[in-house]
Amino acid sequence: MKRRSNGARFLWALLWVLLALLQAWEHYRDKPKSTKKPEADVHFVTLVHPQLVDEAGNDGDSFKIAHEGGENVLRLYFVDCPEKREYALVKNRLKDQAGYFGGLSIPQTIKIGLEAKTFTEQLLHERHFTIQTRWERVYDSARSYALVFFDDGEELSEKLVKAGMCRIHTKGTWMPDGRREYDFENHLRDLEHAARAAQRGAWGKPKPIE
């Protein structure tokens, strides 16, 4: 009788071990073998029928959008357009932006910021676009990071870089189609190199004489 009891306990223990191994396998089998993606478990959502809301606060990389869920102010990943005006809080940022384009004057840099605002607004008014966002907040502001895609397959940051209207400078992200942040940023660098060579946008402005 004792021998039968020991055998039963052994079988139960073996069953529990097998169940534990099965649970561990289920947990790890779908884990990526590479480095964990930033925010890999947070999916992009698509805003339905977005429309640009004309506001004075809009600029080349930040703007208010109306959609079926209401209105939100969005900020592009990857790029930073120059400021539209000079005031105390952006004084150092304007200097950095001017230096990025090879030493423009502050007035020249502000002019590019205004041109970038017009460039973005025209695209968002005249072309069909979709928005992908994770509702990731920009610092402590009410803005959220987003990607804006047009029917030609390009994202708004690509168009701004190609036009010489921005610097590659802010938070990036893994792309909805699976492209890594690093790969997409390198792609933008290639576009920027071509824009600089063609002297487009800020890259074609004459530099102030020292």
Counting Cα atoms < 13 Å in the Cβ hemisphere of 83 gives 17
So what's the pLDDT on residue 141? 85
DSSP class of residue 101?
Answer: T
**How far is residue 81's CA from residue 84's CA, in Å, rounded to a whole number?**
9
C-alpha to C-alpha distance for 77 and 157, rounded to whole angstroms = 8
The predicted-structure confidence for 68-125, as pLDDT tens digits, reads as follows 879 999 999 999 999 999 988 899 999 999 999 999 999 999 999 999 999 999 999 9
Tell if the pTM clears 0.85, that is, is over it.
no
Q: Is the pLDDT of residue 135 over 90?
A: yes
What pLDDT digit, counting tens, does each position of 171-201 carry?
A: 999 999 999 999 999 999 999 999 999 999 9
User: Can you name the residues that pair with 66 across neighbouring β-strands?
Assistant: 51, 71
> So what's the pLDDT on residue 133?
95
pLDDT tops 70 at residue 167: yes
CB 147, CB 133: distance < 8 Å:
yes
> What local confidence, expressed as pLDDT, does residue 48 receive?
84
Distances (CA, A) of 143 to 61, 62, 68, 97, 122: 11, 8, 18, 21, 21
Q: What are the residue ranges spanned by the domains of the chain?
A: 45-204
pLDDT digits (tens, 9 = 90+) for 9-62: 666 666 555 655 555 444 443 333 333 333 433 789 999 899 999 999 999 999
Cα-to-chain-centroid distance, residue 53: 20
Architecture of domain 45-204: Beta Barrel (2.40)
62 DSSP 8-state letter = E
| CB-CB neighbours of 128 under 10 Å | 10
Q: What DSSP string describes 186-204?
A: HHHHHHHHHHHHTT-GGGG
Strands 79-80, 129-137: parallel, antiparallel or unpaired by DSSP?
unpaired
pLDDT of residue 42: 72
